[in-house]
């Protein structure tokens, strides 16, 4: 599946909805057992959540957006398919989250392709289920440091901390993803799927129990004047970078 939402594959409401629909279609197709997730635009895997969905909108929109994000996370994290992320570009915040909920992550070796949950750099806070997903991957101490500092790791460091499973030359990314997929598909589906469910259930249950409260938290947090100001300033900084 190639992510295709120009210019930066930001996770807009529309993109999240389409991703969920396409995942459902693939999961209902008996001929499909695995999925490689990559970007149509080498250089950018995904810029994360769409900042335009979180700026200057009304509470009902924020609630709808957050619910769609939760839905996407729940769907992909619990997918019956083997999901391999072939990360062919920068992967900040929600882009990193998306790769963390796959089963295996391969990052192309390019110093510009940084990955991490950098929310604090924007003056915002990664919610508990982003944090849980990261802790499940790299452990508590490394997550605490990475989350507080909003670290974006270049490939060698991402590999060292365990944020990705492999770093390969850019021209080997897709072929490596296919050989990893073959290895995972050699395992009987039912045994692998039950093991995945067992490993991920506590994290899923944590969100499912608090879904509505989490939406309310997001809506009140993002509606604050100070948060709106931080997000607007960050967007302005991104725009100024060009000129
Ligand atoms: C409140 C609760 C917290 C919830 C948790 C939040 C999670 C998130 O995911 S927040 C989003 C965090 N994302 C980022 O910090 C990434 C920001 N973007 C970048 O660093 C860069 O754009 C890049 C590395 C992804 C790509 O760089 P480059 O190729 O140089 O492209 P530009 O920076 O020139 O961007 C082109 C264009 O796209 C706009 N844009 C970039 N990121 C986003 C985004 N996340 N959402 C919406 N729009 C984005 C950027 O402003 C440019 O727009 P124009 O100037 O209008 O062309």
CB 133 within 8 A of CB 141: no
- Binding site membership of 48 for ligand 1 (Cβ less than 6 Å): yes
pLDDT value, residue 126:
97
3 a catalytic residue: no
Binning pLDDT at 50, 70 and 90, where does residue 108 land? Answer: very high
How far, in Å, CA of 161 to CA of 174, rounded?
Answer: 23
**What is the three-state SS of the chain?**
CEECCCCCCCECHHHHHHHHHHHHHHHHCCCCCEEEEEECCCEECCCCECHHHCCCCCHHHHHHHHHHHHHHHHHHHCCCCEEEEEECEEEECHHHHHHHCCCEEEEECCCCCCEECCHHHHCCCCCHHHHHHHHHHHCHHHHHHHHHHCCCECHHHHHHHCCCCEEECHHHHHHHHHHHHHHHHCCCHHHHHHHHHHHHHHHHHHHHHCHHHHHHHHHHHHHCHHHHHHHHHHHHHHHHHHC
Q: Supply the pLDDT for residue 71.
A: 98
Q: Which pLDDT belongs to residue 146?
A: 98
49 is catalytic: yes
Distance of CA 123 to the CA centre of its chain: 19
How far, in Å, CA of 147 to CA of 223, rounded? 22
Q: In the chain, pLDDT over 90 holds for what percent of residues?
A: 99
Q: Is the four-CA dihedral 225, 227, 230, 233 of positive or negative sign?
A: negative
Q: How far does the centroid of ligand 1 lie from the alpha carbon of residue 221, in Å?
A: 20
Our answer on whether the CB atom of 222 is closer than 6 Å to any ligand 1 atom is yes
The one catalytic residue in 118, 150, 163, 207 is 118
pLDDT of residue 241: 83
Give the predicted TM-score (pTM) of the model. 0.97
Summarize the confidence of residues 165-189 as an average pLDDT. Answer: 98
Task: Work out the number of other CB atoms within 10 angstroms of the CB of residue 191.
Answer: 9
Q: Is 8 near ligand 1, meaning CB less than 6 Å away?
A: yes
- Give me the catalytic one of 119, 147, 163, 231: 119
Cα dist. 68→45, 153, 192, 214, 243 in Å?
A: 20, 27, 27, 12, 34
ipTM of the complex as predicted: 0.98
Q: pLDDT at residue 78 above 80?
A: yes
Res 203: pLDDT: 98
Q: Which range (70-74, 100-104, 122-126, 149-153) has the least confidence?
A: 122-126
- Among 5, 8, 110, say which to mutate for ligand 1: greatest number of ligand atoms within 8 Å of CB: 8
The question of whether 14 is a catalytic residue gets the answer no
Question: Are 48 and 97 spatial neighbours (Cβ–Cβ below 8 Å)?
Answer: yes
182-231: pLDDT as tens digits: 999 999 999 999 999 999 999 999 999 999 999 999 999 999 999 999 99
Whether 119 is catalytic? yes
Ligand 1 pocket, residue 190 CB under 6 Å: no
For residue 100 and ligand 1, the question of a CB distance below 6 A is answered with no
Residue 113 has pLDDT above 90, yes or no: yes
For residues 56 and 61, what is the distance between their CA atoms, to the nearest angstrom? Answer: 10
- 47 C-alpha to center of ligand 1: Å? 5
Q: How far apart are CA 136 and CA 143, in angstroms?
A: 9
Give residue 142's pLDDT.
98
Q: What is the pLDDT of residues 91-105, one digit of tens each?
A: 999 999 999 999 999
The Cα–Cα gap between 143 and 141 comes to 5
Q: With bands split at pLDDT 50, 70 and 90, how would you rate the model's confidence at 242?
A: confident
Q: What ligand 1 atom has the least distance to the C-alpha of 227?
A: 1
């Amino acid at each position: 599946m190639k992510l295709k939402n120009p210019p930066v594959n930001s996770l807009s409401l529309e993109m999240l909805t389409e991703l969920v629909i396409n995942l459902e279609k693939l999961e209902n197709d008996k001929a499909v057992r695995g999925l490689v997730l990559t970007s149509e635009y080498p250089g950018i895997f995904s810029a994360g959540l769409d900042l335009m969905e979180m700026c200057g909108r009304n509470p009902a929109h924020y609630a709808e957006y957050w619910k769609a994000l939760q839905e996407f996370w729940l769907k992909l994290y619990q997918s019956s398919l083997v999901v391999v992320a072939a990360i062919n570009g920068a992967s900040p915040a929600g882009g990193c989250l998306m790769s963390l909920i796959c089963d295996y992550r391969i990052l192309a070796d390019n110093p510009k392709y940084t990955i991490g949950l950098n929310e604090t750099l924007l003056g915002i806070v990664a919610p508990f289920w982003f944090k849980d997903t990261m802790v499940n991957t790299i452990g508590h101490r490394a997550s605490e440091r990475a989350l507080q500092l909003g670290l974006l790791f270049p490939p060698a460091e991402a590999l060292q901390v365990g944020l990705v499973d492999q770093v390969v030359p850019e021209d080997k990314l897709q072929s490596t993803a296919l050989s990893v997929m073959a290895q995972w598909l050699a395992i009987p589906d039912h045994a692998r799927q039950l093991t995945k469910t067992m490993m991920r259930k506590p994290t899923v249950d944590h969100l499912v129990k608090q879904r509505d409260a989490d939406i309310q938290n997001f809506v009140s947090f993002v509606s604050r004047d100070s948060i709106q100001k931080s997000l607007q300033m960050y967007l302005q900084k991104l725009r100024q970078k060009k000129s």
